[in-house]
């Protein structure tokens, strides 16, 4: 049966390809909603726009600089609000989707003023960290979310609990987990040998994968420090570091260069390869033997679910997202964030107990099949959209 809806406008403050943007792109690609009824508004330039337009979706960039000096900011906000109202009316919007809190503060307010319902996708990047703000600022942020978002979709149970504890009605906040394409991971093992040959890693050598954006919170330095202890007992270990500071290869803060220098300083350059940004995550996960995720803070951790979908044993830091995904000792291992010795111990445990590592991978895969099947999570997300139209 054909779905009949009015216009749906997706709004994204960011133009780069971070986790939230990739997930929005995933929904745009797989949704059952009529593509001709969908449009996207971006507030900054970047590779995200090209990816959306490749799907044949109408895209509009409305530049917005909320951090500008007050006179400039106020003028810019008025212009952005006017252009958003024009876009919503032109597209006959019946629903506005806000991908970040920033989107809610602008697009959410404009939509509310026009009587258009708003869905906000909470990526556990606001309510878990409310305590760091002064009390009056916290109250202001909570009030804005409550007054603009008609429905809130969280990615985790703990985020939903935090939002409800802030006084929100239970029927307003729903959990829609982030899923993975299980079929893609089922087909990926056929590429294992070819990829390892490209990386010059023989099949018999243990290969550890670290897949993450290159930002300090992801714990690269913690991982490299732990690796020095692992190599003392297993000098044949090889490591792949996948990801970059930005998807376009830029490194504005110089973090990529700093990490490479740190690896050289520790004497690890002979066993560590930096691959940069890669599209074939299923292939990479199938080619490695152990996956490590060492974030100092992590609201979810999609890459953890992807590693588990590939049947790989996973080690992750005991932070908010990973500890909801992983059952410690059963579907993966959790270590204290920022503690290199504990991480080294966990890596050694898997290297020296291959049977246990294999069991973790098998149980992890079954866990993901049950809770994080992308086809089911996309359908659930679509159902929430349709309920609001």
Same domain, 187 and 301: yes
Quick one: average pLDDT of 2-16?
80
pLDDT beyond 90 at 246: no
Look at residue 247 and tell me whether its pLDDT is greater than 80: no
CA 102 – CA 110 distance, rounded (Å): 13
Residue 327 within a domain: yes
242 occurs within a structural domain = yes
Residue 265 belongs to a domain? yes
pLDDT at 94: 96
The DSSP string of 223-289 is HHHHHHHHHHH-TT-EEEEE--SSTTS--TT-HHHHHHHHHHHHT-TTTEEEEES-S-HHHHHHH-S
Q: What is the pLDDT of residue 74?
A: 86
Average pLDDT over residues 103-129: 95
Tell which residue, 293, 294, 288, has the closest CA to residue 273: 288
Q: How far is CA 62 from CA 144, 202, 240, 281, 364, in A?
A: 22, 50, 38, 32, 42
pTM of the model: 0.84
The pLDDT, as a whole number, for residue 249 is 72
Tokens 């690609």 locate to 29
- Judgement on whether residues 166 and 220 belong to the same structural domain of the protein: no
pLDDT at 305 (0 to 100): 96
* One domain for residues 209 and 316: yes
* Tokens coding 212: 């993450």
Judged against a pLDDT cut of 90, whether residue 248 lies above it is answered with no
Percent of the chain with pLDDT over 70: 98
Is 93 part of a structural domain of the chain?
A: yes
The pLDDT value recorded for residue 125 is 87
The dihedrals phi and psi of 331, each to the nearest 5 degrees, come to -110, 5
Residues 173, 66, single domain; the answer is yes
Check which CATH number belongs to the domain holding 129 and give it.
3.40.50.2000
Query: Which of these ranges, 10-19, 93-102, 235-244, 359-368, has the smallest mean pLDDT?
Result: 10-19
pLDDT higher than threshold 90 for residue 67? no
Most confident of 168-172, 241-245, 246-250: 168-172
Mean pLDDT of 258-265: 96
Q: 57 with 189, same domain?
A: no
**pLDDT range class, residue 1, cuts 50, 70, 90:** very low
Q: What CA–CA distance (Å, rounded) separates 84 from 120?
A: 17
Element (H, E) at 161: helix 157-165
Asked, for residue 367, whether it belongs to a domain, the answer is yes
Mean pLDDT calculated for residue range 216-235: 97
Q: Which domain holds residue 239?
A: 182-371
| Whether 91 contacts 9, CB under 8 Å | yes
Query: Residues 6 or more apart from 47 whose CB is under 8 A from it?
Result: 15, 16, 17, 247, 248
359 pLDDT band, cuts 50/70/90, is very high
- Identify the residue with better confidence: 66 or 202: 202
Residues 170 and 279 in one domain: no
Looking at every residue in the chain, the average pLDDT score rounds to 94
In which element (H, E) is residue 106 found? none
- What is residue 10's predicted lDDT score, i.e. its pLDDT? 98
CA-to-CA distance for 39 and 122, rounded, in angstroms? 20
| Burial environment of residue 166 by CB neighbours within 10 A (0 to 12, 13 to 18, 19 or more) | middle
pLDDT given for residue 5 in this prediction: 53
Within-domain flag for 326: yes
The model's confidence at residue 64, banded by pLDDT at 50, 70 and 90, is confident
Query: What pairing do the DSSP bridges indicate for beta strands 93-98 and 207-211?
Result: unpaired
Give the pLDDT of residue 66.
77
The first and second tokens of residue 188, run together, are 């990926």
Question: Based on the structure, what is the number of domains in the chain?
Answer: 2
151 and 198 share a domain?
no
Whether residue 145 is contained in a domain is answered as yes
Q: Are 55 and 186 within one domain?
A: no
Does one domain contain both 346 and 205?
yes
363 and 229 belong to one structural domain: yes
Tokens of 359: 């069991």
Residue 1 belongs to a domain = no
Q: What is the pLDDT of residues 204-214, one digit of tens each?
A: 999 999 999 89
Q: How far apart are alpha carbons 293 and 343 in whole angstroms?
A: 10
- Could you tell me the pLDDT band of residue 3, with boundaries at 50, 70 and 90? very low
Kindly state the average pLDDT of the residues 83-91.
Answer: 96
Structure tokens, 239: 């490591």
189 and 161 belong to one structural domain: no
User: Are 30 and 122 in a shared domain?
Assistant: yes
pLDDT above 70 for 240: yes
């Amino acid at each position: 049966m054909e779905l009949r809806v009015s216009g749906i406008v997706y709004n994204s403050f960011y133009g780069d390809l971070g986790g939230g943007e990739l997930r929005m792109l995933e929904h745009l690609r797989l949704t059952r909603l009529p593509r001709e009824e969908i449009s996207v508004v971006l507030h900054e330039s970047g590779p995200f726009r090209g990816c959306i337009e490749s799907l044949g979706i109408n895209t509009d960039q409305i530049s917005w600089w909320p951090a500008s000096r007050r006179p400039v900011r106020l003028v810019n906000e008025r212009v952005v609000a006017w252009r958003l109202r024009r876009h919503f009316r032109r597209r006959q919007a019946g629903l506005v989707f806000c991908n970040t809190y920033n989107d809610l503060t602008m697009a959410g307010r404009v939509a509310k003023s026009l009587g258009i319902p708003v869905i906000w996708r909470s990526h556990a990047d606001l309510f878990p960290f409310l305590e760091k703000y002064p009390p009056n600022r916290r109250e202001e942020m909570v009030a804005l979310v409550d007054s603009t978002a008609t429905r809130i979709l969280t990615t985790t149970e703990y985020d939903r609990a935090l939002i409800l504890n802030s006084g929100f009605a239970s029927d307003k906040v729903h959990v829609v987990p982030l899923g993975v394409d299980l079929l893609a991971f089922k087909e990926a093992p056929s590429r294992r040998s070819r990829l390892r040959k490209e990386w010059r890693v023989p099949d018999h050598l243990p290969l550890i994968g670290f897949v993450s954006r290159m930002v300090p919170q992801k714990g690269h330095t913690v991982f490299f420090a732990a690796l020095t202890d692992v190599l003392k007992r297993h000098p044949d270990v090889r490591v792949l570091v996948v990801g970059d500071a930005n998807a376009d290869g830029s490194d504005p803060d110089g973090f990529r260069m700093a990490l490479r220098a740190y690896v050289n300083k520790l004497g690890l350059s002979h066993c560590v390869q930096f691959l940069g940004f890669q599209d074939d995550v299923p292939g990479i996960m199938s080619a490695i033997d152990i996956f490590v995720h060492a974030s100092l803070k992590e609201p979810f951790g999609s890459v953890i679910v992807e590693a588990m979908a590939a049947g790989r044993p996973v080690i992750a830091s005991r932070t908010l997202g990973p500890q909801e995904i992983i059952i410690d000792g059963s579907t993966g291992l959790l270590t204290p964030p920022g503690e290199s010795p504990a991480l080294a111990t966990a890596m050694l445990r898997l290297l020296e107990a291959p049977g246990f590592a294999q069991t973790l991978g098998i149980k992890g895969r079954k866990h993901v099949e049950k809770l994080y099947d992308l086809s089911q999570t996309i359908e659930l997300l679509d159902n929430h959209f349709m309920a609001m139209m």
